[in-house]
């Protein structure tokens, strides 16, 4: 509270777009009251709640999880400060950065949600359509605008689509949720595992350079996952809106509204067959174009962001802080703009305290020449436009605030969904497991190992894939195992998932008891080290193993299975009681789940 009274630094950048609508907060409060009085049907209330960005919480009706949308991941210092305050007032004193660039507040009392919505309006944010059968947060690569391999910055297009879809009547009752991802290049975005993925392209037509996209449709992760199909060679930017509307209209009309477990658009694409679906989209687009009575246009703000380096905070005399080299190597990416860097702030499974959020806000003001931050794809924050000369001083500031965890850009930063910390459907504590894996990797200095750099570990607490385990080099999803009459948390491990241009879902390889996951990962790394080629990486090696193209001692998944088999045999309860407990729990494991809202 005190800091609000201190004179704020000049030129604090604020979001140009106000995503909020103030009346929605009051309306929400009223509706909660009617629901509590039994005057609204629970199913109707649930749809309403989700439409406004509030999920249910594990085993209780008293609490909600509020998902704050951050379109294109673009987040401003005053917004982070507001969320810090809200997390202390209404949540657990920590907030969560999600894999889809949202920021979440957990364990919020349902009756307090409207106050959060109200306060979010003060800083132009909304949770509207963050859940439910709507167009979810429109993502954009955190490197868009600074990526060395990008063709043009897609951020303005991502923001324009987000703006067009939010509260748009055509998106209020889709058969199921709908996701857009924009990227800078194949490597930095996840365009093939969403309903609509967009990669920037330039095409020269009659000597004139035209901006456009490669559009991928019908991908998605879940109980059954699919990789998206490319619609056409090139879609000019003028057709972006028409194409998006065409796809949404087809989905709205033909999507399966009955069978809740298979109503994402990818199932429709799969059922019709790609070619048929593709034709439908192209035809529909022609109709949309021809029948627009008023010309609908995207509101694209193409103005250039002001880049102004804050007063240099660099202290020449300062010595290089301990651990700097390791941090720089594993958390900093050079930008296409010379002299500038993007700094990745690693969090444990996306969690951050209120005080750390305030520090991040201050650090953005002091170090970022663009004056805001971008949420990443792996539960992290990216502060961009940091000058070469300021990196060391920034590192010191990050250390002071517990924000200098190394390995953000490496395999060490494991992703874990909410799991049993808050999710109704969870079977295991995937969230804590991700933290344990990360801690182990950092303890072993694996973040510094170049062989591991391009690999990922992602963990879901049940088959629903919120942790995106299928696109991880080593992925896990939770379940229950049994030895005699005793249950233990048992994860299914998949190997070789990828989300780039060769997007592929991981191969189910083995079931691994939770307390053996770390040893099994270490064993796989050991096998790799023994059998790798000179310029190999773990990801490449696993790729060869799962596709049967590896010629060393390990020729396929079966050899890995054999090698880890001794590790995954359940001991007797008396010999190792800990084996039968999940992380974060001191009692024997049993599965408990509540009513899921995934299809809501």
**Closest-CA residue to 74 (of 17, 127, 128, 150):** 17
DSSP code of residue 189: -
Of 404 and 427, which CB lies nearer to ligand SF4 in the complex structure? 427
Query: Segment 421-440, which members bind ligand HEM (CB under 6 A)?
Result: 423-425
The verdict on 417 binding ligand SF4 (CB under 6 A) reads yes
Among the listed residues 32, 352, 466, 527, the single contact to ligand HEM using CB under 6 A: 466
CB atoms within 10 A of CB 317: 4
Residues 6+ apart with CB under 8 A from 20: 117, 120, 121, 124, 125, 126, 128
- Token pair, residue 146, equals 């600074």
Query: Segment 233-252, which members bind ligand SF4 (CB under 6 A)?
Result: none
CA 216 to centroid of chain Cα atoms: 18
> 453-457 long-range CB contacts below 8 Å, 24 or more apart?
453/409, 453/410, 453/411, 453/537, 454/411, 454/537, 454/538, 454/539, 455/411, 455/537, 455/538, 455/539, 455/542, 456/378, 456/411, 456/414, 456/415, 456/497, 457/411, 457/414, 457/415, 457/521
DSSP code of residue 9: P
Among the listed residues 350, 489, 496, 570, the single contact to ligand HEM using CB under 6 A: 350
* Segment contacting ligand HEM by CB under 6 A, of 78-86, 94-102, 233-241, 497-505: 94-102
Distance linking the first and last C-alpha atoms of the chain: 38
The verdict on 291 binding other proteins (CB under 8 A) reads no
The verdict on 478 binding other proteins (CB under 8 A) reads no
Among the listed residues 68, 425, 514, 538, the single contact to ligand SF4 using CB under 6 A: 425
CA 102 to centroid of chain Cα atoms: 7
Give the nearest distance from C-beta 159 to other proteins in angstroms. Answer: 28
Of 164 and 476, which CB lies nearer to ligand SF4 in the complex structure? 476
The verdict on 506 binding ligand SF4 (CB under 6 A) reads no
Query: Segment 466-495, which members bind ligand SF4 (CB under 6 A)?
Result: 466-467
The verdict on 70 binding ligand SF4 (CB under 6 A) reads no
**Exposure letters 176-215 (e unless 16+ CB within 10 A, then b):** bbbbbbbbbbbebbbbbbbbbbbbbbeeeeeeeeebbbbb
Question: Which of ligand SF4, ligand HEM, other proteins, none has residue 460 at its interface (CB below 5 to 8 Å by kind)?
Answer: ligand SF4
* Segment contacting ligand HEM by CB under 6 A, of 154-162, 416-424, 489-497, 567-575: 416-424
Among the listed residues 19, 488, 583, 589, the single contact to other proteins using CB under 8 A: 583
Question: Which of other proteins, ligand HEM, ligand SF4, none has residue 461 at its interface (CB below 5 to 8 Å by kind)?
Answer: ligand SF4
The verdict on 1 binding other proteins (CB under 8 A) reads yes
The verdict on 80 binding other proteins (CB under 8 A) reads no
Give the nearest distance from C-beta 43 to ligand HEM in angstroms. Answer: 16
x/- letters, 392..421, toward other proteins (CB under 8 A): --------------------------xxxx
| Residues touching ligand HEM, count (CB under 6 A) | 22
d(CA 74, CA 502): 28
The verdict on 221 binding ligand HEM (CB under 6 A) reads yes
Query: Segment 94-153, which members bind other proteins (CB under 8 A)?
Result: 94, 96, 106-107, 109, 111-112, 114-115
Which strands form 60-68's sheet, in the order they lie side by side? 54-57, 60-68, 103-109, 94-97, 351-353
The residues that bridge with 56 in the sheet, in sequence order, are 64
Q: Which residue is it, tokens 């070469």?
A: 388
* Segment contacting ligand SF4 by CB under 6 A, of 96-104, 154-162, 246-254, 459-467: 459-467
d(CA 242, CA 289): 6
| Coil vs helix vs strand at 590 | coil
Of 243 and 464, which CB lies nearer to ligand HEM in the complex structure? 464
**Closest-CA residue to 347 (of 19, 99, 70, 545):** 99
Give the nearest distance from C-beta 427 to other proteins in angstroms. Answer: 12
Binding residues for other proteins (CB under 8 A): 1-2, 4-6, 29, 32-33, 36, 57-60, 85, 88-94, 96, 106-107, 109, 111-112, 114-115, 347-348, 351-353, 356, 418-422, 429, 431-432, 435, 582-585, 592
Binding residues for ligand SF4 (CB under 6 A): 417-419, 423, 425-426, 430, 460-462, 464-467
């Amino acid at each position: 509270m005190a800091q609000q009274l201190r004179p704020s630094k000049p030129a604090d950048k604020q979001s140009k777009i106000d995503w909020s609508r103030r009346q929605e907060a009051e309306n929400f409060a009223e509706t909660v009251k009617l629901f509590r009085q039994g005057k609204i049907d629970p199913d109707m209330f649930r749809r309403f709640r989700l439409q406004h960005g509030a999920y249910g919480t594990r085993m209780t009706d008293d609490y909600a999880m509020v998902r704050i949308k951050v379109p294109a991941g673009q987040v401003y210092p005053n917004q982070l400060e507001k969320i810090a305050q809200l997390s202390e007032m209404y949540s657990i004193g920590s907030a969560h950065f999600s894999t889809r660039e949202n920021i979440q507040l957990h364990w919020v009392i349902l009756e307090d949600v409207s106050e959060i919505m109200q306060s979010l309006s003060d800083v132009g944010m909304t949770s509207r359509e963050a859940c439910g059968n709507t167009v979810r947060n429109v993502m954009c690569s955190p490197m868009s605008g600074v990526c060395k391999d990008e063709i043009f910055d897609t951020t303005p297009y991502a923001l324009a689509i987000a703006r067009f879809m939010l509260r748009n009547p055509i998106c209020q009752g889709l058969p199921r949720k709908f996701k857009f991802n924009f990227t800078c290049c194949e490597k930095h975005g996840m365009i093939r595992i969403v309903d609509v993925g967009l990669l920037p392209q330039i095409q020269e037509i009659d000597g004139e350079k035209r901006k456009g996209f490669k559009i991928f449709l019908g991908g998605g992760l879940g109980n059954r996952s699919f990789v998206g199909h490319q619609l056409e060679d090139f879609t000019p930017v003028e057709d972006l809106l028409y194409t998006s509307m065409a796809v949404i209209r087809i989905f709205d009309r033909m999507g399966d509204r009955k069978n809740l477990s298979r109503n994402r658009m990818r199932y429709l694409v799969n059922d019709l067959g790609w070619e048929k679906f593709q034709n439908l989209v192209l035809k529909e687009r022609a109709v949309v174009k021809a029948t627009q009575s008023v010309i609908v246009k995207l509101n694209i703000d193409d103005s250039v962001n002001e880049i102004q380096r804050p007063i240099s905070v660099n202290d020449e005399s300062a010595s290089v802080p301990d651990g700097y080299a390791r941090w720089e190597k594993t958390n900093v990416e050079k930008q296409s703009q010379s002299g500038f860097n993007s700094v990745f702030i690693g969090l444990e499974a996306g969690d951050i305290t209120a005080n750390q959020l305030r520090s991040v806000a201050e650090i953005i003001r002091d170090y970022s020449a663009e004056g805001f931050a971008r949420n990443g794809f792996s539960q992290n924050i990216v502060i961009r436009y940091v000058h070469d000369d300021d990196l060391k001083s920034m590192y010191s500031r990050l250390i002071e605030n517990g924000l200098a965890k190394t390995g953000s850009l490496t395999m060490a930063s494991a992703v874990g969904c909410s799991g049993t910390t808050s999710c109704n459907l969870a079977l295991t504590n995937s969230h804590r497991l991700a933290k344990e894996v990360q801690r182990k990797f950092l303890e072993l200095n694996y973040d510094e190992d170049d062989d591991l750099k391009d690999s990922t570990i992602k963990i879901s607490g049940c088959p629903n894939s919120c942790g995106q385990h299928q696109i991880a080099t080593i992925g896990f999803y939770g379940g229950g195992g049994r030895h005699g009459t005793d249950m233990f948390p048992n994860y299914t491990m998949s190997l070789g998932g990828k989300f780039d241009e060769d997007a592929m879902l991981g191969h189910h390889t083995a079931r691994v008891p939770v307390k053996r996951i770390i040893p099994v990962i270490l064993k796989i790394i050991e096998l790799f080290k023994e059998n790798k080629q000179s310029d190999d990486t773990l990801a490449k090696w696993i790729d060869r193993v799962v596709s049967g193209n590896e010629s060393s001692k390990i020729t396929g998944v079966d050899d890995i299975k054999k090698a880890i088999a001794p590790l995954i045999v359940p001991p007797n309860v008396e010999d190792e009681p800990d084996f039968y407990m999940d992380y974060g729990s001191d009692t024997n494991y049993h599965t408990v789940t509540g009513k899921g809202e995934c299809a809501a």
